[in-house]
Chain A
Amino acid sequence: DIVMTQTPLSLPVTPGEPASISCRSSQSLVSRTDGSTYLDWYVQKPGQSPQLLIYTLSYRASAVPDRFSGSGSDTDFTLKISRVEAEDAGVYYCMQRLDYPITFGQGTRLEIK
């Protein structure tokens, strides 16, 4: 199985400040078939189901604000929020879907100071 490791596990951020979450995979997430990187990011806000933020490394999902961006390569990935807003509080997960079983990181709790 591909192991996903996120850091930090907890991230307090002041509104208006940037935030960055790291995700590392135990093997490359680059597809040998098409060269795409199958790494997605989700956020789970309190009491809600997970919502897709970023798919295939860097594509923003529909209606996701452009302050969210995904980047990285091979085994190291980053989710960045350029300016955190109060509504961004929640737990952020990276997920790989390159190979089965699909696996998630442990989650990073973003807390608004």
Chain B
Amino acid sequence: QITLKESGPTVLKPTQTLTLTCSFSGFSLRSSEVGVGWFRQPPGKALEWLTLIYGDDGRRYSPSLRSRGTITKDTSRNQVVLTVTNMDPKDTATYYCVYRRPGSGWIQRYFQHWGQGALVTVSS
């Protein structure tokens, strides 16, 4: 059974750095075909993709992070960490980590399991 859980601060002040940890179980992040992504959802708004890391350490970022974000993994601890610097009130959102399954082709490499989400509020 695959599970993911986000943890980190619930409140930050503007300009502070966000560090969110995704702790997962039920799979290994060692294969180049497996990935873990971060998404977010501002209150009452649509979903937004932020970043993705593969088991071979390949990474993708959304331009919206504008070089403020970094994704890393700790394979031995089954964790993925999202770091976002210079947080702004517009970054207030529920942040989700999501398992991107491997597959025999891209047809089956979809985002399958979502964590419960972590609400992060940025306010002075």
Interface residue ranges, A against B (CB under 8 Å): 1, 31, 33-34, 36, 38, 40, 42, 44, 49-52, 55-56, 59, 61, 93, 95, 97, 100-107
Contacts and interface: CB of A to CB of B under 8 A. Distances in A.
Given A50-B47, A93-B46, 8 more contacts: A34-B106, A34-B107, A49-B115, A50-B96, A51-B114, A55-B108, A101-B49, A105-B46
Interface residues of B, number: 22
Interface SS of B by simple majority: mixed
Nearest to A107: B46
B46 A106 contact: yes
Q: Is the interface of A mostly helix, strand, loop or mixed?
A: loop
B49 A102 contact: yes
Given A34-B107, A38-B106, A49 B46 contact: no
A59 B107 CA distance: 9
Contact of A36 (B64, B96, B106): B106
Contacts of B114: 49-51
Nearest to A91: B46
A83 B27 CA distance: 36
Interface in B66-119: 96, 105-108, 110-112, 114-117
